[in-house]
Chains A and B, each alone.
Chain A
Amino acid sequence: MEAFGTPEGTLVDADLSFIQVEGLDLSGMNLSGANLSGGEWVDVNLDGCDLSNLHVVESRFTRVTFRRVQLDHALLQRVELAGCTLERASAGEAAFFLSVMSDTDFRHAYLVKAQFLETNLDRSDFTGADLSFAQLRESSLEQTRFISCDLRGVDFRKTNLHHAEYRHVCTENALYYGLPPWGGEAIPGRDWVRDLLVFDGE
């Protein structure tokens, strides 16, 4: 924890797992490769931080801000981020698995090839976000807002799309079962199942 006392000190690859943090301003710091697992983070400002290759399992973040963070190739599993903001975050190829990210602000975030698997994204806001080739499989998207979004190649299969909102979205090559979630006719002859790489149980 000494690192916290010296804001100029590096937090690259720091092991910050299983700790409780409240009311800290770490904005602009470099935490790339850090481990924030098993923690309880409340009222922390991480704006502008470098969080690339971050590793987080089973942590809870309450009123933590991630504006303009770098989350490139980060791995977040079973993480609660409800109500946090990731506005303008850059999270290409980041993985958000089995997490709770409802009411989260993803406006103008860069989420190309990001993976949201089995994640709750209810009521989250993706306005202006680039989600091209992201995966939303088996996630919940109730009342989620996709406005002016790049949704090309996004995998929407097995997602709960109830009342999600789509406006001015680009959906070329997006994957979904049944009719397009944003309305319109089904594209004849497309076999989505074939595009899904599945291992048989060896």
Chain B
Amino acid sequence: MSKANDLIIRVAGEGGEGIISTGDFIAAACARAGLEVYTFKTFPAEIKGGYAMYQVRVSSERVYNQGDTFDVFCAFNGEAYELNKHLLTPGTAFVYDYPGGDFQPDAIPEGVTAYPIPMSQASKDLGSYRSKNMVAMGALSVLFNISEETLKQVLTNKFKKKGEEILNFNLKAFEKGKELGTALQKRDTWRVADPVEPKDVIIISGNDAVGMGALLGGLEFFSAYPITPATEIAKFVATHIPKLTGTLVQAEDEIASIAQVLGASYAGRKSMTSTSGPGLSLMSELLGMASMGEIPALVVDVQRGGPSTGLPTKHEQSDLFLAIHGTHGDAPRVVLSVEDVKDCVDMTVDALNLAEQYQCPVILLSDGSLAFSTQTIPAPKPENYTLVNRKRWDGEGKYFRYAITEDLISPMSDPGTPGGEHIATGLEHGASGAPSWSSENHEVMHRKRFGKIKGLVDTYKPVEVDGEGEADVGIIAWGSTIGVVRESITRLRAEGIKVKGFYPKLMWPMPVAQYEAFAATCQKILVPEVNFQGQLSHFIRAETTIRPIPYTICGGLPFNPAMIVNKVKEVL
């Protein structure tokens, strides 16, 4: 991907200064101009204020990750400068609040193009500090070729609801910024690609996309407890599910939310909850009940840094152990993991379908970097999604809830259906649901519960293999790391290195044959993941004959392509 086409702008400053909205405006304006956008942000852990960062990567080609570092940095305050100045390397451009801001930078390093813009001062002169971000945006727009037309459209859409006066004030600040930017001579080569024919896209965050997928997947009941970084899913569903006559409850804790989900699902409704690691830990006992009672249930886990309270606002991929095995006893479940925001929509539909089809808990893993990352994705078409409903009893003969059938999936019966009265139980049971604790029955039922999802490794969409033929290094990646690996592979190939990628989305049951087939074509297998123990590496070692090289980081941030490129060269 040519650099001229691919630009990363980072805006940072105090939370509440309009950092997030600045990023959102730029992202939306670029998307409106037909470009591909991938954003990445970190929120302050403080309740109010604190350091906030928003990074927009924009390109005329598809963008798979947030990139290595920024090309353009816009500092709203001294703290942002101090935290990022080590990244001001030759070739980068630096826009900052000066004079009139709260800092004067050190000597600008050689090769860095500096653009001091008196954002605070200009905003104050217009009558309020509140338009500082508009001034910044005006300057960025002229300096880096951000489409003024679409930016103004986005601003107008946003502010016209708040009244003519506020809209005009902001537009005035924007013009002032443009003026200040124009006054400075453009001395670098960074520019956003020119607008192209607009595509049929939406720009949406991972969390909102999960909510959208849920509604497209026919969700009828949702219960959750607030937790960072998953709460936006509940907010999305809360806003929209009543329009579809669905139900949302904010439960008293995660135990109650999964319990309500199981109750509603037993009663015949497509149900789900969303949470993060600590919530999933609390849910584990009831997930076992869902396995045992064969109750469809979807849990979306937006992973964050753990264990315990851990790093609540930071990215990590460390819930794989918990998702696959987190409960007592042998409790089968399906675990899916999303790569990007598009997956957040599509695979939430998949996950609801699988829960219904296999009558078992399904855990969909997202992560902290996807949760708040907004990306341009093709606008979903509701009519393109096929929805699956659970197998229901046909009313013929005597009803046995846990009857052993050919596909090991027993028909369910909704309350109110005459003759279908039955018990859903966490006790081991026979076909009718009556308790049975003989070892023979326990084994038969284990075979049923595990057996019914076994075929999924063949029926779920095949694992994507990136590349053909033999390779020196095969990279197996999961979750949002996949996007980073895609770009790393492109770069490595450009350098003549033979690499292939393998991107599983179905984490459990594990498509072992596909892993083996992939590994057979590679000299070495590298597994980069953002956790300390190398959790996917662990499962690969346990379930396959592959002996992977784990590459783990756990600094609370995702990989960037350069890291993977360097690691591949190291293990080559």
Contacts and interface: CB of A to CB of B under 8 A. Distances in A.
Q: Answer whether A and B touch in the complex at a CB cut-off of 8 Å.
A: yes
Interface of A: 194, 197-200, 202
A202 B427 contact: yes
B435 A200 contact: yes
A137 B465 CA distance: 65
Interface of B: 427, 434-435, 437-438
Contacts, number: 11
B438 A194 contact: yes
Top-7 shortest CB links A-B: A200-B437, A199-B435, A197-B434, A202-B427, A197-B435, A200-B435, A200-B427
Contacts of B427: 199-200, 202
A200 B427 CA distance: 9
Nearest to B426: A202
Nearest to A194: B438
B437 to A, nearest CB: 5
5 contacts: A197-B434, A197-B435, A198-B435, A200-B427, A200-B435
Contacts of B434: 197
Nearest to B436: A197
Contacts of A194: 438
Contacts of B438: 194
Contacts of A197: 434-435
Contacts of B437: 198, 200
A54 to B, nearest CB: 28
A120 B435 CA distance: 30
A197 B438 CA distance: 11
A200 B441 CA distance: 14
Nearest to B435: A199
A194 B439 CA distance: 12
A200 B426 CA distance: 12
A44 to B, nearest CB: 42
A197 B437 CA distance: 10
A200 B435 CA distance: 8
B371 to A, nearest CB: 38
A202 B426 CA distance: 10
Nearest to A193: B438
A4 B484 CA distance: 89
A142 to B, nearest CB: 33
A141 B36 CA distance: 86
Given A200-B435, A202-B427, 9 more contacts: A194-B438, A197-B434, A197-B435, A198-B435, A198-B437, A199-B427, A199-B435, A200-B427, A200-B437
A76 B434 CA distance: 27
Contacts of A199: 427, 435
A170 B240 CA distance: 68
A31 to B, nearest CB: 33
B360 to A, nearest CB: 22
A199 B434 CA distance: 9
B434 to A, nearest CB: 7
Contacts of A202: 427
Contacts of A198: 435, 437
A198 B436 CA distance: 8
A200 B438 CA distance: 10
B426 to A, nearest CB: 8
A198 B438 CA distance: 11
A194 B441 CA distance: 11
A199 B437 CA distance: 8
B420 to A, nearest CB: 22
B306 to A, nearest CB: 31
A71 B257 CA distance: 47
A198 B434 CA distance: 10
A197 B433 CA distance: 12
Nearest to A200: B437
A38 to B, nearest CB: 34
A201 to B, nearest CB: 10
Nearest to B440: A194
A126 B444 CA distance: 44
A142 B513 CA distance: 68
Nearest to A199: B435
A194 B435 CA distance: 12
A155 B438 CA distance: 21
A140 B438 CA distance: 29
A164 to B, nearest CB: 31
B514 to A, nearest CB: 40
